[in-house]
Amino acid sequence: MPTDPHAPLAGVRVLDASRVLAGPLCGQVLGDLGADVLKLERPGGGDDTRGWGPPFHGAFSAYFLSCNRNKRGLSLDLSRPDGVNLLHALARKSDVLLENFRASSAAKLGLSPQKLLEVNPRLIVCSISGFGRTGPLADQPGYDYAAQGMSGLMDVTGPVEGPPFKVGVAVADVLTGLHAAIAILACLHARGQSGHGYAIDLSLLDCAVASQVNLAQAFLVTGQVPPRQGNAHLQIVPYQLFATADGWLGLCVGNDGQWQKFCQAAGRADLGADARYTTNALRVENRQLLVPQLEALMRTRATADWERLLTAAEVPFAPVWDYARLFAEPQAAERGLRVTVRDPQGQPVDLIGSPFHIGGTTLPAPRHPPSLGQHTDEVLREVLGLNDAQLDTLRAQGII
């Protein structure tokens, strides 16, 4: 296969004026694919997540490290007119601008999508917020916890008998960041035909709802709120976590053929022949009868014994690993789930690896997230052609 010498997004410049997780994660995805991502932060403090620790690696919080690789960093005071003017100048030389300002704040600063598209009619402006630019909640501050709570995601997550649970990671932020990257890539493609820019309006609430797929759709079909299933599946049985003799194992029987294979391998051909359980629909209807029998059965063998037996029978299963086990596995090394880079002081640090593996192109080597304002002078010289005297003046005025 021929291999391109350049990454897929080489030549695309992204201004990442977002903070915390959804926007920065989107910028990181674009940077992983070769875009030149410029992370804009306020002088002095920078992105809030720089202080969200412990743990820290030197001056960098683990949180900040997780969503800011493959970027260059510059600091710019957007509360000052000269800072906004510099941002507008950068926007004229860029392809994409990511932001998550509140709509009223963006308008007051002259950073609304409408204004930015006046500055650069070919710009793709991606605005991320809690609830979108329309509707009664449009200017309410948004955060992952609110999106998980209000989208129904918490209501369907957690033990059957007990309180609603949030997902262990800020999944609404993550899903919104990924939707943002998809929308930006689509608009970059469309711009090649249309020649004009686009304004993308994404909300955490919208993306959290859209990502609940079969559960939210089940409500729309029936009008019934789906009951919480804990570690089980609403529409597939058996598809849940079971206690073994010495641990836990997820049994992932996705069709009736796999069900028969499981019953044979487990020495319970009688369950496979039972007319109450022969199809998935019947197993769902009769889960209260079937699951207690499976719980007792799964406790009869150790986890490793089940893994060997189910592998031989070609029945899908899922071991439960913590991070220590995961990153020690050969699969993690083979897929580059952990990469080692050098921080701005030259010290090695491990980062989560990019999940992209694309044949026929050359992806950029992972780079450490920038220290606050690390590349300010470099970017302003390169992109705007500013000289040392101009940079010194801006710094003296506190603009950069």
* Residue 173 among the catalytic residues: yes
CATH code, domain carrying 177 = 3.40.50.10540
Q: For residue 102, what pLDDT band results from cuts at 50, 70 and 90?
A: confident
pTM, whole model, 2 decimals?
0.93
| 86 lies in the same domain as 146 | yes
How many residues would you count in the chain? 400
Picking from 273, 294, 319, the residue at the C-terminal end of a domain is 319
Which residue in 16, 47, 144, 173 is the catalytic one? 173
Asked if residues 65 and 370 have their Cβ atoms less than 8 Å apart, the reply is: no
**In a shared domain, residues 299 and 347:** no
Rounded CA separation 86/84 (Å):
5
**Which residue in 36, 35, 61, 19 sits closest to 173, CA to CA?**
19
345 is a domain residue: yes
pLDDT of residue 274: 97
pLDDT in tens, 317-358: 999 999 999 999 999 999 999 999 999 999 999 999 999 999
Q: In this structure, what token pair is assigned to residue 286? A: 């009769």
Q: What is the per-residue pLDDT across 20-78, written as a single tens digit (0 to 9) for each? A: 999 999 999 999 999 999 999 999 999 999 999 999 999 999 999 999 999 999 999 99
Whether residue 220 is contained in a domain is answered as no
- In b/e form, how buried is each residue of 169-203, taking b as 16+ CB within 10 angstroms? ebbbbbbbbbbbbebbbebbeebeeeeebbbbbbb
* pLDDT tens digit sequence for 200-229: 999 999 999 999 999 999 999 999 999 999
pLDDT of residue 258: 97
Same structural domain for residues 50 and 178?
Answer: yes
Q: Does residue 39 lie within any of the structural domains?
A: yes
Assigned domain for 218 exists? no
Check residue 399 and give left, alpha or beta (phi > 0: left; psi -120 to 50: alpha). alpha
Which residue from 74, 142, 70 is spatially nearest to 105, judged by alpha carbons? 142
Domain end: 265, 287, 319, which one?
319
Q: What are the C-alpha distances in Å from 257 to residues 136, 248, 280?
A: 49, 24, 10
Same domain, residue pair 128 and 274: no
- In three-state secondary structure terms, 168 is coil
Closest-CA residue to 273 (of 262, 285, 260, 292): 260
State yes or no: pLDDT of 108 exceeds 90: no
201/243 same-domain check: no
Note the pLDDT of residue 2.
Answer: 85
Expressed as residue numbers, the domain containing 355 is 13-211+330-396
What DSSP element (H or E) covers 200?
A: strand 198-203
Distance CA 226, CA 333 (A): 39
Provide the 3-class DSSP secondary structure of residue 20. Answer: coil
Check residue 170 and give its pLDDT: 97
Asked if residue 20 and residue 107 are part of one domain, the reply reads: yes
Q: State the burial class of residue 167 (Cβ atoms within 10 Å of its Cβ: 0-12, 13-18, 19+).
A: middle
CB distance 252 to 317 below 8 Å: yes
Specify whether 112 is located in the same domain as 245.
no
CATH of the domain at 260: 3.30.1540.10
Which residues, 6+ apart, have CB-to-CB distance to 49 below 8 Å? 19, 20, 21, 24, 61, 63, 64, 67
Same domain, 148 and 187: yes
The pLDDT-based confidence of 110 (bands split at 50, 70, 90) is: confident
**In a shared domain, residues 340 and 281:** no
Query: Do 155 and 250 lie in a common domain?
Result: no
Q: Is 7 inside any structural domain? A: no
**Alpha-carbon span 24 to 338, nearest angstrom:** 19
Q: How far apart are CA 262 and CA 283, in angstroms?
A: 14
Percentage of the chain beyond pLDDT 90 is 94
Nearest CA among 74, 76, 73, 52 for reference residue 64 = 52
Encoded amino acid at 231, one letter? N
pLDDT reported for residue 237: 97
Residue 12: the pLDDT is 98
Q: How many CB atoms lie within 10 A of CB 386?
A: 18
pLDDT of residue 387: 97
pLDDT in tens, 159-203: 999 899 999 999 999 999 999 999 999 999 999 999 999 999 999
- Kindly state whether residues 151 and 53 are assigned to the same domain: yes
Q: What is the model's pLDDT at position 1?
A: 82
Query: For residue 142, is pLDDT > 90?
Result: no
- Domain finish residue from 286, 319, 352: 319
Integer Cα distance of 75 and 376 in angstroms: 6
Using alpha carbons, select from 71, 78, 69 the residue that is nearest to residue 101.
78
Q: How many domains does the chain have?
A: 2
